[in-house]
Structure 1
Amino acid sequence: MHALIIEDEDLIAIAIEEVLRECGFTSFHFAVSFDEAVAAARERCPQLITADVELRPGSGIDAVQTICTDNPIPVIFITGRVDAARSRMPQHPVMSKPFRISDVESAVRQIMSQQ
Structure 2
Amino acid sequence: MNIKDRIGAHLPYLRRFARALSGSQQSGDAFVLAMLECLVEDPTLLRNDLDDRVAVYNLFLRIWGSVQTNAGTDVSEDHVATLAALTPRSRQAFLLITLEGFSPEDAAEIMGVDQQTFGRMIEEAGREIADQVATDILIIEDEPIIAMDLEALVTELGHTVIDVARTRREAVEIVEKRRPGLVLADIQLADGSSGLDAVNEILGEIEVPVIFVTAYPERLLTGAKPEPTYLVTKPFRPQNLKVIISQALFFRERASRKVAA
Bin for the TM-score computed over the shorter chain: over 0.9
Q: Which amino acid aligns with 1:18?
A: A
For 2:185, the equivalent position in structure 1 comes to 51
TM-score (norm 1): 0.93
Unmatched 5+ residue regions in structure 1? none
Question: What is the Cα deviation at residue 56 of structure 1?
Answer: 1.8
Structure 1 CA distance for aligned equivalents of residues 234 and 216 of structure 2: 9
Tell which deviates more after alignment, 21-30 or 47-56: 21-30
- What is the aligned length? 115
Q: 1:86 to 1:23 in 2, by over 3 A?
A: farther
CA contact (8 A) 2:154 2:161 kept: no
For 2:244, the equivalent position in structure 1 comes to 107
Q: Name the SS for the 2:197 alignment partner.
A: helix
Question: What is the Cα deviation at residue 35 of structure 1?
Answer: 0.2
- In proportion to residue count, which structure has more helix? 2
For 1:78, the equivalent position in structure 2 comes to 213
For 1:5, the equivalent position in structure 2 comes to 139
Structure 2 CA distance for aligned equivalents of residues 38 and 92 of structure 1: 21
Question: What is the Cα deviation at residue 22 of structure 1?
Answer: 1.9
TM-score (norm 2): 0.42
CA contact (8 A) 2:137 2:180 kept: yes
Residue-by-residue CA offset, 1:22-53 (whole Å, 9 max, x unaligned): 22212321000000000011110000100000
- In our comparison, the structure showing a higher alpha carbon Rg is 2
For 1:42, the equivalent position in structure 2 comes to 176
Runs of 4+ in 1 over 4 A off after TM superposition: none
The reply to whether residue 90 of structure 1 matches residue 227 of structure 2 is: yes
CA contact (8 A) 1:23 1:108 kept: no
Unmatched 5+ residue regions in structure 2? 1-134, 253-261
- How well do the aligned residues superpose, as a CA RMSD in angstroms? 1.3
Identity %: 33
Structure 2 CA distance for aligned equivalents of residues 37 and 27 of structure 1: 13
Higher RCO (CA-CA < 8 Å; seq separation 6+): 1
Q: Which amino acid aligns with 1:78?
A: V
